[in-house]
Structure 1
Amino acid sequence: MSYATPEATHRFAKRFAQYKDFYMAHDGLLFSKLGFGTFKKEPYKEENYTFDYKSALKEAIKSGINLIDTAINYRYQQSEKEIGEVLEALFASGEVNREELILCSKGGFIPLCFPFPKNPYTWIEENIFQKALASKEEIELDQHCMSVAFLKDSLHRSLENLHVKALDIYFLHNPETQLLRLGKEAFYTQIEAIFEAFEVWVAEGKMASYGVAVWNAFFYDEGHSEHISLEKLYEIAKKIGGDGHHFRYIQLPFNIAKTHANTFATQKMSDGGLYTPVQVAHKLGLGVIGSASLLQMHLFKKPFKPEIGYLLDSNMQLHSDVQLALQFARSTRGLLSALFSSHSPLHVKENVEIAQINAVSMVKYNLLYKVDGR
Structure 2
Amino acid sequence: MPEPVLRALPALGVFVGLHLAGVVVLAVISHQVGGWDVPSLLGNRYDSHWYSRIANDGYGPHAPKAYAMFPLFPAMIAVLAPITPGPSWTAGVLIAWGAALAAAWGLYLLGAHLRDRRTGILLVALWAVLPHAVIQVSGYTESLFTAFAAWALYALVSGRWVIAGGLTLVAGLTRPSASALVAAVGLAAAVAVVRGRDGWRPWLCGALAPVGFLGYVGWVGLRMDRWDGYFWVQANEWGSKFDGGGYTVEALWQYLTRRSDIAFYVCAFALLAALLLVVLLAVERWPWPLFVYGAVLFATIVATAGYFHSKARLLVPAFTLLLPIAAGMAKIRVRNAALIIGVLALFSAWYGAYLLLIWRYSP
Q: State the TM-score, normalizing by the size of structure 2.
A: 0.29
**Which has the higher relative contact order, 1 or 2, with Cα contacts under 8 A spaced 6 or more apart?**
2
Q: State the TM-score, normalizing by the size of structure 1.
A: 0.28
Q: Name whichever structure is richer in helix by fraction.
A: 2
Q: Name whichever structure is richer in strand by fraction.
A: 1
